[in-house]
Amino acid sequence: MRDRDAEQRPAGRGAAAPRTGPAGPAPGLRVLVPAGLRFLRRRRRVVGAVAGWSAVEALQTFLLGHALARAVDRGFLADRPGVGLAWLAAAAVGVAVGAFGTLRVYGAVARLTEDLRDTLVRRVVTGALERAAARARAEGPAAVSRLTHQVEIARDGFAGLVMVTRSFVVTAAAALLGLLTLAPPLLLVVLPPLVAGLAVFGWSLRPLSRRQRDFLAADEALADGLGSVVDGLRDVVACGGERRAEYAVRARVDAELAASTALARWGTMRDVAVGVGGRLPVLALLLAAPWLLARGVTAGALVGALAYLTQALLPALQSLVFGLGGTGTRLTVVAGRLYAAGPPRPAPGDGGDEGTRDGDGAGLPRPRTGAAPGAPPGTPRPLAPGAVLELRRVSFRYGPRSGAVIRGLDLVVRDGEHLAVVGPSGIGKSTLASLAAGLVLPGDGEVRRSCRPVLLPQEAYVFGGSLRDNLAYLCPSPVRDAELHHSVHAVGAAPLVARLGGLDAPLRPAELSAGERQLLALARAHLAPPRLALLDEATCHLDPAAEAVAERAFAQRPGGTLVVVAHRVASAARADRVLVLDGRSALAGTHEDLLERSPFYRELTGAPGLVPTPPGS
């Protein structure tokens, strides 16, 4: 029973389902588009400024083709180079005016995006606070991620989307108007392939968005799966779960590969749209040049039309297609999650206490606080008579796809009792200690305590400072030296304290061994006010004699109750009662009683220093 019990989230078989927002599935375009239009309608002045300065920016596009056409027809071909240069100078002036308009557009779009960021921040904060109030539990890291990273993604994506969409609309309108005023037949050649390219892009946008969303979900599922396996690698090996972990990770890798392949396949439609709508008109214009010249279109008009196509329409179309296909899709996904993260809208009859999928015990219903028969709703159910700690039908698992680590456990620890918890590594002992301490919540059932316990894990924590500060760290008020010396002597740490130089000696954690740190942590916990102590292999670095002294000190505290995750047979033999976990059930009794009733306990105690293989592994 020497090995460490550190259960982690077992990886489930198959790829994880796409993530949803905290309030349910993220809303689609049918919800986001009306919400976006309402946002823009409430900011008509800023939207008007964007439109007005965009019109100024369009002047350079319109002048480009006309200036080149006039420079060729009326200047250079008419043997009047001065006139040609004058028209080119007019085009340069148009570029300067357009640049000024673009500068002002950036300022207006910045005001719009800052308003959007403020709106999203208010929505995320309001939603997180209302959920915390409704469920008495803050959303924690998920809300922080939405408040920082995802809001910034939405802000930047929105700014980019506004710029590329606005740029295409303005550029296309100016270029088409320029073609019409140069020579109407030019539109007959240019407009059909441009419309066809936009139609191809519009047709592919919805499936492309869906494939982008699937890819992001598969990528997140792979990251979650790899993180779980890496974090629990030691326990995966200890429990013989290498093959299962391999299958789970491989399934997530395959799912991401399939999603990325589908995304790449649909991504080629963007190139098709650009080719049809941006490059095909250039080819069509060159092929139709004789026909156009025969119908009165001048050489200058053809040069101007080529400038409109290659210098205006093609770059604008490329920016639109790749901007909407990439940034626009990510914006839709992130904005949907942020929208879903807003103030919750409970369904009829939803009291707000059903299970969530974030936090500990994911995938199981949230624990409900029972009430005594006839008591008003919300009244805590009383503890059993004389009980300090009580678990009622408690179950816990680390993920919706993983098996239960604790399953339907009933346990009562009475005042002054010394309970030892035994079982092989990975069976649930540390999880049980965390449940008893309140560090994790049960997925089902309830945990009740008469007081706040003190939990000592295997890795003892000490900090730089005086020895006195370390020992009195858990005490809310100043502690007398007599009390400090009593706890130090009780747990067997007096020789260590003397060697370190006394209570006021400076402590350097790096110079202490693991056993010495455990002795100081034991003295700190013994001095602390809580009468319920949970030792989760907190003496594993001590020799058997020192361990016995420390456990006896906790068991003999006035009103003291001790629960020990045992790693030595002698520790279980000293306890008033032993709880045996074998992965399928839990059996409690005295040491002598269990030796008679439980073959599994006899196997544990009959092979000191060895950890049997868990049943079914």
Q: Is the pLDDT of residue 495 over 90?
A: yes
Instruction: Tell me the CA distances in angstroms from 128 to 35, 154, 366, one per residue in order.
Output: 20, 18, 18
Q: Is the pLDDT of residue 30 over 80?
A: no
Helix H or strand E segment including 112: helix 81-135
pLDDT at 32: 54
Q: pLDDT confidence of 56, banded at 50, 70, 90?
A: confident
Q: What is the pLDDT of residues 149-180, one digit of tens each?
A: 455 555 566 666 677 778 888 888 888 898 89
Which range of 10-14, 149-153, 400-404, 433-437 scores highest in mean pLDDT? It is: 433-437
Paired tokens of 493:
């740490």
Q: What is the pLDDT of residues 265-295, one digit of tens each?
A: 887 888 888 889 889 999 999 999 999 999 8
For the chain, the C-alpha Rg in angstroms (whole number) is 36
pTM of the model: 0.44
pLDDT at 363: 32
**Burial level of 557, CB count in 10 A (0-12/13-18/19+)?**
middle
| Ranges assigned E (strand) in 438-482 | 444-449, 454-456, 465-466
Q: How many helices (H) and strands (E) does the chain have?
A: 22, 11
**What residues have CB less than 8 Å from 139, skipping those under 6 apart?**
22, 128, 131, 132, 358
Which range of 263-272, 336-345, 349-358, 475-484 scores highest in mean pLDDT? It is: 475-484
Q: Is the pLDDT of residue 616 over 50?
A: no
**Mean pLDDT confidence for 41-56:** 81
pLDDT at 578: 92
Average pLDDT over all residues of the chain: 75
Beta-sheet pairing, 387-396 with 406-414:
antiparallel
Written in H, E and C, the secondary structure of 538-602 is CCCCCCHHHHHHHHHHHHCCCCCEEEEECCCHHHHHHCCEEEEECCCCEEEECHHHHHHHCHHHH
Please give the Cα distance from 225 to 491 (Å, whole number).
42
- Taking alpha carbons only, the member of 148, 260, 144 closest to residue 213 is 260
Return the half-sphere exposure (C-beta side, CA atoms, 13 A cut-off) of residue 152.
4
Q: Is the pLDDT of residue 310 over 60?
A: yes
- Taking alpha carbons only, the member of 220, 181, 420 closest to residue 301 is 181
Q: Do 155 and 118 contact (CB within 8 A), yes or no?
A: no
Tokens 């005086």 map to which residue? 466
Instruction: Tell me the CA distances in angstroms from 453 to 369, 433, 436, one per residue in order.
Output: 19, 10, 8
Q: Is the pLDDT of residue 334 over 70?
A: no
Instruction: Tell me the CA distances in angstroms from 19 to 213, 225, 328, 341, one per residue in order.
Output: 10, 13, 19, 13
**What residues have CB less than 8 Å from 576, skipping those under 6 apart?**
417, 418, 419, 590
Amino acid at 290: P
Please give the Cα distance from 342 to 129 (Å, whole number).
10
Total residues belonging to the chain: 617
Helix H or strand E segment including 29: helix 29-41
pLDDT at 9: 36
Q: Do 573 and 559 contact (CB within 8 A), yes or no?
A: no
The sign of the dihedral angle between the CA atoms of 20, 25, 31, 35 is: negative
Q: Is the pLDDT of residue 305 over 50?
A: yes
pLDDT at 155: 57
Paired tokens of 543:
């020799």
**Mean pLDDT confidence for 376-382:** 53
Tokens 């596009």 map to which residue? 61
Q: Is the pLDDT of residue 404 over 70?
A: yes
Torsion angles phi and psi, residue 342, rounded to 5: -75, -170
Q: Percentage helix, strand, coil, to 5, in the chain?
A: 60, 10, 30
Between 358 and 538, residue with greater pLDDT: 538
pLDDT at 238: 61
Tokens 């130090």 map to which residue? 488
